DNA sequence: TGCTTTACTAAACAGTGTTCAGTAAGTTTG
DNA sequence: CAAACTTACTGAACACTGTTTAGTAAAGCA
């Protein structure tokens, strides 16, 4: 049936239209201003129409999260390229933190906000996150003989935890407690990470 | 003037009443259900009354954050007590993570939510957070000769970042990507932290 | 007692996510 | 081609949210 094919195509195009409008607003105006009503206005449809394509806001945000993870993975692939495994791991951690601080709203969606996780099975987050997560696992796997952790899973936990911790403290303003200005802060983070990588190296 | 003294006392009591109702709701029902209207209903006043005592929701949440930080500091003081500096640091990191996972909503307020930071000068967060933060700084200061960081500030950044990262990934459901059940996850976190502390030890 | 200040609230405004009845156009069928 | 059916869409409403304002009743002071 040619018509139902076209209908299906149009449905996918509409979903895509909604998602990209939402993604744009997310990046430009942040999470708080990305409302169903604002998205609807931007694409010149009524708010109710969005509910014909997405069950609720959480499901919509879940789809934007998928796009965000693709975006992050592309950044990893571009910046963690060294042949030497240990150097590649260093680059990956640096790229992660740079990405998070440069794209705080997308980072929120991927790693902080509750909304995209709500309407989700356990497997769904795995689907979205996995390509990026696997990048970390593989990089640590390649470096495993050069780091002082007996188990790569432990190393992954520590490195991800550390990276996420620094990004999220930073983008949620909690580094204020150090009473440093942003420049000092960034310098301290960088030198601390440098030493950390040195310390965990065999 | 006895009357204006009493008035002042009553004003403080009212603020206290609002805060404790809000704190209760925060712990019992979580952040999302703690609305100005719900707090007002609980204390049997109109929503507008709350605005006679707090400028806006952010200022109210800032005050609850102060209480939460007292709560956290009490937990630290209770659990990080070893005489040996390195052991005390280990206890502190463990206590931090335990506290965060056991009190996810208060942890949110202290370290994740944007709301309490909005109506805030840089110094204000310092006021709220400082007693707890100083506990970390002091503990690291005492252990500084036994850890492989040249600068205690670097060590603080790494340890806080790591602790916060693990707590926040955990309470925001992002550990799902490991495909472990909660028991396995907790075991991995614990063993990873164990090894981490070993590795940074001189 | 009369005047003023204080404490409080009902009602409204502007925003949110979401649902549902109704319409108008597109598609299929007799 | 016209009638019947299906699909796509929307206006308006519901139940929430934070916040402001005008008005009221009680408390304090002269």
pLDDT at A124: 85
The C1' atom of D10 and the CA atom of A4 lie apart, in whole Å, by 24
CA distance A21 to A68: 14
Residues 179-198 of B with CB under 8 A from A: 179, 188-189, 191-193, 195-196
The pLDDT tens digits for B106-128 are 999 999 999 999 878 878 888 88
Average pLDDT, rounded, for chain B = 95
pLDDT at B125: 83
pLDDT at B19 over 80: yes
Asked if A117 and B163 come within 8 Å (Cβ–Cβ), the reply is no
pLDDT at B121: 81
For chain B, the three-class secondary structure string (H helix, E strand, C coil) is CHHHHHHHHHHHHHHHHHHHHHHHHHHHHCHHHCCHHHHHHHHCCCHHHHHHHCCCHHHHHHHHHHHHHHHHHHHHHHHCCCCCHHHHHHHHHHHHHHHHHHCHHHHHHHHHCCHHHHCCCHHHHHHHHHHHHHHHHHHHHHHHHHECCCCHHHHHHHHHHHHHHHHHHHHCCHHHHHCCCHHHHHHHHHHHHHHHHHHHEC
pLDDT at A3: 64
Asked if B179 and A125 come within 8 Å (Cβ–Cβ), the reply is no
Q: Which residues pair with A10 in a beta bridge?
A: none
Place of tokens 């495994």: A85
pLDDT at A122: 77
CA distance B82 to A195: 27
How many A×B Cβ pairs under 8 Å? 136
**pLDDT-above-90 percentage for chain A:** 89
Of A154, A164, A188, the CB nearest to B168: A164
Å from B22 to nearest chain A CA? 21
The pLDDT tens digits for B20-53 are 999 999 999 999 999 999 999 999 999 999 999 9
Å from A6 to nearest chain B CA? 36
CA distance B14 to B36: 15
For A83-107, the three-class secondary structure string (H helix, E strand, C coil) is CCHHHHHHHHHHHHHHHHHHCHHHH
Å from B189 to nearest chain A CA? 7
The C1' atom of C19 and the CA atom of A199 lie apart, in whole Å, by 58
CA distance B91 to B75: 11
Residue B137: partners with Cβ closer than 8 Å, 6 or more residues away? B152, B156
pLDDT at A2: 64
Backbone angles phi, psi at A84, to 5 degrees: -70, 125
Average pLDDT score over residue span B132-137: 97
More confident residue, B128 or A75: A75
Average pLDDT, rounded, for chain A = 95
pLDDT at A1 over 60: no
pLDDT at B3: 67
Disruptive mutation site among A158, A182, A185, A190 for chain B (greatest number of B CBs within 10 Å): A158
The C1' atom of D21 and the CA atom of B35 lie apart, in whole Å, by 21
More confident residue, A10 or B143: B143
The pLDDT tens digits for B44-77 are 999 999 999 999 999 999 999 999 999 999 999 9
Q: Are A64 and A109 in contact, with CB atoms under 8 Å apart?
A: yes
Å from B193 to nearest chain A CA? 7
Torsion angle of C-alpha atoms A12, A13, A14, A17, degrees rounded to 10: 130
Closest-CA residue of chain B to A111: B174
The C1' atom of C14 and the CA atom of A115 lie apart, in whole Å, by 24
Residues 3-42 of B with CB under 8 A from A: none
Residue B58: partners with Cβ closer than 8 Å, 6 or more residues away? B115, B116, B117, B118, B119, B120
CA distance A189 to A197: 12
The pLDDT tens digits for A48-57 are 999 999 999 9
Q: How confident is the model at residue A128 (pLDDT cuts 50, 70, 90)?
A: confident
């Amino acid at each position: 049936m040619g018509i139902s094919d076209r209908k299906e195509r149009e449905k996918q195009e509409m979903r895509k239209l909604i998602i990209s409008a939402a993604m744009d607003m997310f990046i430009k105006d942040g999470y708080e201003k990305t409302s169903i009503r604002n998205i609807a206005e931007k694409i010149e449809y009524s708010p109710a129409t969005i509910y014909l394509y997405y069950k609720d806001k959480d499901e919509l945000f879940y789809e934007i999260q998928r796009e965000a993870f693709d975006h992050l993975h592309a950044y990893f692939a571009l910046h963690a390229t060294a042949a030497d495994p240990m150097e590649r791991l260093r680059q990956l951690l640096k790229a992660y933190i740079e990405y998070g601080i440069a794209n705080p709203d997308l980072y929120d969606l991927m790693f902080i906000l509750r909304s995209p996780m709500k309407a989700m099975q356990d497997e769904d987050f795995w689907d979205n996150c996995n390509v990026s997560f696997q990048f970390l696992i593989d990089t640590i796997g390649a470096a495993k003989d050069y780091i002082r952790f007996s188990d790569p899973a432990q190393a992954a936990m520590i490195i991800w935890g550390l990276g996420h911790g620094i990004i999220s403290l930073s983008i949620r303003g909690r580094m204020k407690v150090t009473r440093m200005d942003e420049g000092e802060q960034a310098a301290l983070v960088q030198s601390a990470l440098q030493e950390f990588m040195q310390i965990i190296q065999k």
